[in-house]
A and B are shown apart, each in its own frame.
Chain A
Amino acid sequence: MTGKAVQTQEMTFVQKLNGTWHERALWVYLAIVILHWIEHLFQAAQIWILEMARPDALGALGYVFPWLVKSEVMHFSYALIMFVGLVLLLPGFRGASRNWWLASTIIQGWHLVEHTTLQIQALVGSNLFDSPVPTSFLQPFIPRPELHLVYNLIVFIPMIVAMWLHTRPSQDAVNNCFCATPPYTAPTAVAPA
């Protein structure tokens, strides 16, 4: 564990997040991403595999909280959280993994622009292309559930490639965190002579 960041009182939150906390923060972040991803896939399966009517295809959470799915606030908040997470955790990545993480961040940045525009339309009450509902920029070409499923997929793939590269054992020498450090094994007690 030589060469790793040592947590001191002088370190900022972001420095700690990209040093000693990076490993745990990364996995917590990925858990949030996967849960959201599963929700999107559930809704997609309802539409294209179970062939449910679109207004009824509300995803898993939507069965319990139908208003959640129809609320632009929820979609906007998640896109914001995901973007902030990508930006905050970026400094911990090195080399090729950094490029993949950066690619994911840029794509999510555009996804956030889309959701911000949708949120503004919902607040102002006036929609793009004179549509009766808030509309994404690319929605005239691809319907919304398909479009946002694809957005999430093309954010997810480079993110996973980045995490895989970042956690390879060979990265331990260049990382400032413990993400690629071999698993911890507790020291075994030695019986007194």
Chain B
Amino acid sequence: MSLWQVYPDVGSAMTPHLIVMFDGQEPGPDTEVRVMVGSDSVDVIPSATTERAWETTVGVAPGDLVTVTISNNDGTWDMPTILIPEPLTSVLPMRLLIAISIFLATAVAWWAGGRTAQAWRRPLPSRGVG
């Protein structure tokens, strides 16, 4: 089993949701997944995007302690408690990069527009003519 975080929220304020995946094994119909965040139980539903997986319906915050319990007719297993780390955010100055890119794309589009018109005004040399 592996536990994944996904980041469905906005770029600057992402909170991870959890996906509990069963790797390479088909969980039986009697399998039940329970997730505790701290001392609170949170809702878990079968994942719409990932096979053999369940996911939480609300985000958890970095620093939360998460405990996953799997149970079926054969028994109950408590997974080791997981400390939610800080979400993966870019170390890149994205707003600056976007501003530079927009400026560059606009300037190039303007230049290319003029040069494309110039290229199409020029008659293509016909065969055998230098």
Known contacts A6-B129, A149-B101; is A24 also within 8 Å of B120 by CB?
A: yes
With an 8 Å Cβ cutoff, the count of chain B residues facing the other chain is: 49
Are B98 and A49 interface neighbours, CB within 8 A?
A: yes
Cβ contacts A to B, 22 pairs, < 8 Å:
A7-B125, A20-B125, A31-B112, A34-B108, A44-B98, A48-B95, A51-B13, A53-B9, A53-B10, A54-B7, A54-B14, A130-B2, A131-B4, A132-B6, A132-B50, A143-B90, A149-B101, A150-B92, A160-B104, A167-B115, A181-B122, A183-B122
* A interface footprint on B68-108 (CB within 8 Å = 1, 0 otherwise): 00000000000000000000111110110110011011001
Which residue on chain B has the smallest CB distance to residue A52?
A: B10
Are A47 and B11 interface neighbours, CB within 8 A?
A: yes
Q: Which bracket fits the contact residues of A?
A: 35 or more
* A interface footprint on B111-130 (CB within 8 Å = 1, 0 otherwise): 01001101111111111111
Known contacts A8-B128, A20-B124, A47-B11; is A149 also within 8 Å of B89 by CB?
A: no
Rounded to whole angstroms, the CA-CA distance of A189 and B21 in the bound complex is: 78
A55 on the interface (CB 8 Å rule)?
A: yes
- Give the interface of A toward B (CB within 8 A): 1-2, 4, 6-9, 20-21, 23-24, 27-28, 30-31, 34, 37-38, 41, 44-45, 47-49, 51-55, 130-133, 142-143, 146, 149-150, 153, 156-157, 160, 167, 178, 181, 183-184
Contacts of A146 in B (CB 8 A): 90, 92, 94
